[in-house]
């Protein structure tokens, strides 16, 4: 029996999160806060991938999610990413969570949560009644390596 279209495969989630972690490593190598993001369409193709670029672009909005969203819009040819899943190493901030909801992504998967500024855990953007789209969410996928890369980065900076 084939899995339903709504079947969530944790092995696939980890596979894509490893790709997001590779993007985070690129950010760390560039002295950016090491966050990485991958956007995968319903056919399993990467339509967006990025890491934080706020320092190199001198742009406070150049978070990994925002850059990957722009790539995905161009790749899909639409501002709606309804069959896509976004993988990011740290829970999206409120800005990114708002953009994700507006883009109508199907799912959002993150590694480590953000207990101070998490767009979902603190501000509840993905489930807020004022939003017209509520993506499925899954936190904690490869949380330990997602946290480790952040801790290593900030330890080196101190």
pLDDT at 3 over 60: no
43 pLDDT above the threshold of 60: yes
Residue-wise pLDDT for 103-132, tens only, equals 999 999 999 999 999 999 999 999 999 999
Average pLDDT over residues 81-108: 98
| Whether pLDDT at 7 is above 70 | no
pLDDT of 55-87, one tens digit each? 999 999 999 999 999 999 999 999 999 999 999
Is the pLDDT at 5 greater than 60? The verdict is no
Whole-number Å distance between alpha carbons of 133 and 3: 25
pTM: predicted TM-score of the whole model, two decimal places: 0.94
CB atoms within 10 A of CB 102: 15
SS (H, E, C) the chain: CCCCCCCCCHHHHHHHHHHHHHHHHHHHHCCCCCCEEEEECCCCCEEEEEECCHHHHCCCCCCHHHHHHHHHHHHHCCCCCCCCEEEEEECCCHHHHHHHHHHCCCEEEEEECCCCCCCCCCCCHHHCCCCCCCCEEECCCCHHHHHHHHHHHHHHHC
pLDDT of 92 > 80? The answer is yes
- Which residue among the candidates 65, 115, 120, 136 is catalytic per the annotation? 65
Summary mean pLDDT of the chain: 94
55 has catalytic annotation: no
Bigger pLDDT: 7 vs 88: 88
């Amino acid at each position: 029996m084939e899995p339903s279209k709504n079947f969530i495969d944790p092995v696939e989630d980890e596979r894509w999160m490893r790709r997001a972690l590779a993007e985070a490593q690129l950010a760390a190598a560039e002295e950016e806060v090491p966050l990485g993001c991958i956007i995968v369409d319903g056919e399993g193709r990467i339509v967006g991938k990025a890491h934080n670029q706020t320092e190199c672009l001198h742009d406070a909005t150049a978070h990994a999610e925002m850059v990957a969203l722009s790539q995905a819009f161009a790749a899909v040819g639409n501002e709606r990413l309804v069959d896509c899943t976004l993988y990011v190493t740290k829970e999206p901030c409120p800005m990114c969570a708002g953009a994700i909801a507006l883009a109508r992504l199907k799912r959002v998967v993150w590694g480590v949560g953000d207990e101070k500024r998490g767009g979902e855990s603190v501000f509840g953007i993905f489930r807020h009644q004022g939003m017209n789209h509520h993506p499925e969410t899954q936190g904690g996928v490869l949380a330990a390596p997602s946290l480790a890369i952040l801790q290593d980065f900030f330890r080196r900076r101190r």
